[in-house]
Each structure stands twice: as C-alpha cells, then as structure tokens.
Structure 1
C-alpha cells in the first residue's frame, strides 16, 4: 500500500494529506486498515508548519501525541520488485510505550512503513503493508512487533525513478473508542505517534539474465559464441526491458567443478543484449553474471553446457 501527499497546503513529518490507494485486492480488514490510518494521518498533518501536532492557532483538530516510540527496526537489505506480482517483506521492531497506553486494545494499531526521500517532505512516497503489525508484550511497557511491507507493482504504486534506497519508519494509533467512520468521530481523543529514519532497504527493479553458448557440441580449439540479455522490470508499463551499457562477466565452470571463473567482462548493448566469443577447451558451463546496482539486483544466468569434442 502506497501513500503520497497530494495537497500542497499541508506539510508535516510525512506530510500526508491523502492516500493514493490501489484498487481493492485484499480482505475488508485491509481496506478498513487503510481508511482508518488515512483519516488519522490526514488530521495529524493538517497543520501549518513542518511537523505534526503543531500548536499554531490556525491548525486543524489533531490527535494528541501518543506516548510511544520505536527502535530495533529490522528489514531485508533489499526488496526485489518485478512487474505484476505483489511482494511482501517482513519487518520487526521494538515499541516502547507509556504505562497508560493499552496496546492490547482492539482499536490500537501499529505498523511499519518505508519511505523515499526526506521524512519532512510533503511529497514523500511511502509503502505500508495491507494490515497492522502484530505485537507481543515483553514487559509492561515494551513489545516486539512484526509487520509486512507490501508492494503492488501491477497497480502502479512505483515509478522507475523511485528505485534505490528507502528508509524505515513506524507509527502507532490509539483510537480510544473513537470510530473513524462515525459522524461523531473526535480526532482529539485519538493518540498518534510516528518515527522515521529507523533503518533502510533497497527497493529494486527485479532483473533477469539469459545465456546461450553455441555451437553445441564444438571441437576443441574452435570458437564459441555466447549471447544473452540483461533486462529489468519497468514499473511504469509492467514489462521487462533491456538494461543498457552495464558491465557483465562471462564465466565458465568446468564439468565436475562447482566453481565459476571469470573469463572476461563486457557491456550490454543499448538494448541490454550481450555477445562475445571464447575458445573451446574442455566440457563445461558458460554463464553471464551481473553484479547489480543500487536500483537493480545482482543476477546470474543459468549455466549453458557445451560439449567439447
């Protein structure tokens, strides 16, 4: 689930004025979670100034600052996102809260999220999960929490320029009996807190790499031509396209061995294609290997066996 601010008059720690939600794809609980969090976030950041809970006279009614904070945020080093399939990544973190905060209440929730750019930037995009985190109390004021971050690339949540480093954050909301769907909903009786810069991860455009070595079989000492293609996910048209001018290694593994050695490094063409030659010596497997970048994960092609006669 993605969030992005769209109203320029609003600013704040996440500066979220509205959810940019994908089409319904989950259970009603997920839709309810999104709507409830959206309403509180909108109110928390609908204030003049750079932070939530502004005391400015012209500020709109807001939730009160909830006595809770977050630490020990752990997430995978990288999240590989393709073109259509949803991708979920587990997040764990510690929540420390005041003794007066009832985290076991049915209407209390906490959730991790990741964001790109400045936590104080109005236009910061963020990715949540489809449901709140689950927490286990380890003391009267400390709990360990586990949640998911879910990307829905098939629903236009990501743009290609957003591949790279995202930062970790978490929030908590205590509704205290207030029903966000009610006409009598009183946001000032709801507690809210958030914290950014808890960690980081790479959200990457998934990569693919192919190889084909010919002829097969080949006489010893003759030339082998090895072709292939490096491509990566395009989040804007939901297809894979060639990754141009990238260094890729041609590697060889002798039959009976488990180790590949690098023969040479070449670059992909403007369309991501690869082509080079080598001399046939012994039976073995040829593959291309890409080391990856901050926006695109490393990938190895499946070795192609050549019988040398």
Structure 2
C-alpha cells in the first residue's frame, strides 16, 4: 500500500536526522476512516528543561466501519511535514501507536515520544509543533492528516526574587532584585531571558492575593532590579506571563518585615 511507503519515508527521514525533510503527502483519505480526540501531553504545553529528556504521550480515537488495523503519529516542527525542521517518531520498536479495541468500529490509541535537548531540540524549534497522523483500517480505508493537532513545545523557565533590606522601617526604600532565565537546549544550562516584561507584585501578610505594583523589563542577562517604598509586612514576587516559546512562571514570594 502507498500509505505504508509514506510512513516509512517519514519515519526513516526522522531517524536519519532531526533536520531531514521526508517525502509525504498532504491531507488525504479513502473510505470512512477517521481520527479524532487527539490530546497531546494531557492538553498541556510540553515544557522541556536544559538537559533531561521529556516523555510526551499522545492519545486519540480511531474509527472505521471495518475496525482499525494500525495507526502511526509523528511529532514535528515546521510549516508542513515536507518542510519539517525537527521532529520525533514514536518510542515503540515499530513506530506504531498502541490501539485498544473499544468495539467493532472504534479503537482508543496511545503513543509516546521522547523530546530532549541536543537530541531533537535546539532553541530555534521552541514554539508551535504539529502532529502528523495516519490511520489504516482493516478494509484498506485510511486517513492521513498533516496536522491532526497543534501544541506547544517550550523552554523551561525559572524566576527568582530577593527583597532587601529585611527588616526595614516603614517608608524606607526596598530594593527588589531577581532573574528570569530559561533552558538553553544547545548548552544544557539555564540562561537569562532578555528584554522581557515582568511584573513586580506584593501580597500583604494576611492576604492570599497578589497585587501588581509595576512592570519592568529584564536586562541583557535576564536580571531584574527596581525599588519600592516599605508600607506593610508582606511578600514580594516577580511574575512572568510567558511567551509562545517559554512558559509563565512566578517567583516564590520573599517576605519583608516592616517595622
């Protein structure tokens, strides 16, 4: 079958190199085969640190009036599967998804992938990824989708804060420093995230709600520094809303005792 040749081309190209461009077709189908309910990583963005590999599970439902024969997914970054920048084939030995029969026409399927720095991740491929999918039925019907689902692959973020002096007299100046950093998949370390807007927030000692005091930007090394006047006992923190390539993160509040 031609669709098996397509699967081999996609899988083989990715196995040879993360930056290969396989020969594949655009969306197409024959018969009544369908794929639905595709969920990547439980519906959450895939956040990967600077060194540890991340296992990503994708679940989906496959249907056909004759029942499902096999299914395969490929995760990739690029405009289309023909123009991929990098990607991942399934961890299974044959590259296929594990499909469990629900009834004569429907199967619930699952497959797991590995994403990791210096393996199939470099800094430039953070952002929106896609799921290429093909499902084959027992009567030789099939469906192939270039983008069965889009999802985010992001560089893990860290945010620190330090408010001083502690304790401080009411009305005196408090200096609040910190740093926003994110995983560098090419060096295997965290590095400062420059030019990003970060909120300085304050929570009174007996309150559960943070209020934004001001917004400042990180410097060329990801550092943060600003000043405020001491008014009451409470916690200072920095809060970053996140970007397409980097998840939101809040620093752990730093308590300041105001005398």
| TM-score in same-fold range (> 0.5) | yes
Give the gaps of 5 or more residues in structure 1: 1-11, 23-41, 53-64, 104-108, 177-189
Residue in structure 2 matched with residue 243 of structure 1 by the alignment:
193
Alpha-carbon distance between aligned partners in 2 of 1:21 and 1:98, rounded to the nearest angstrom: 36
2:54 pairs with one of 87, 99, 124: 87
Alpha-carbon distance between aligned partners in 2 of 1:287 and 1:121, rounded to the nearest angstrom: 45
What's the CA shift string for 1:53-88, capped at 9, x where partnerless?
A: xxxxxxxxxxxx898542221222411111111212
Alpha-carbon distance between aligned partners in 2 of 1:120 and 1:201, rounded to the nearest angstrom: 15
TM-score, normalized by length of structure 1? 0.69
Residue in structure 2 matched with residue 166 of structure 1 by the alignment:
129
Taking the TM superposition and a 5 Å limit, the aligned residue runs for 1:99-110 are 99=66, 103=69, 109-110=70-71
8 Å CA contact 2:62–2:135 kept in 1: the answer is: no
Q: CA RMSD in A?
A: 2.9
> Shift of the alpha carbon at 1:90?
2.7
> Shift of the alpha carbon at 1:260?
0.4
Larger Rg: 1
SS in 1 for 2:148: coil
Residue in structure 2 matched with residue 117 of structure 1 by the alignment:
78
2:45 pairs with one of 63, 74, 78: 78
What's the CA shift string for 1:94-150, capped at 9, x where partnerless?
A: 112352x664xxxxx534332222334244422234124332222212111122232
Number of equivalenced pairs: 240
Alpha-carbon distance between aligned partners in 1 of 2:54 and 2:31, rounded to the nearest angstrom: 31
Question: Is 1:142 aligned to 2:116, yes or no?
Answer: no
Residues 102 and 222 of structure 1, relative CA distance in 2, 3 Å threshold: closer
SS in 2 for 1:264: strand
Residue in structure 1 matched with residue 229 of structure 2 by the alignment:
279
Using the TM superposition, name which of 71-80 and 221-230 deviates more.
71-80
SS in 2 for 1:116: strand
Alpha-carbon distance between aligned partners in 1 of 2:77 and 2:63, rounded to the nearest angstrom: 25
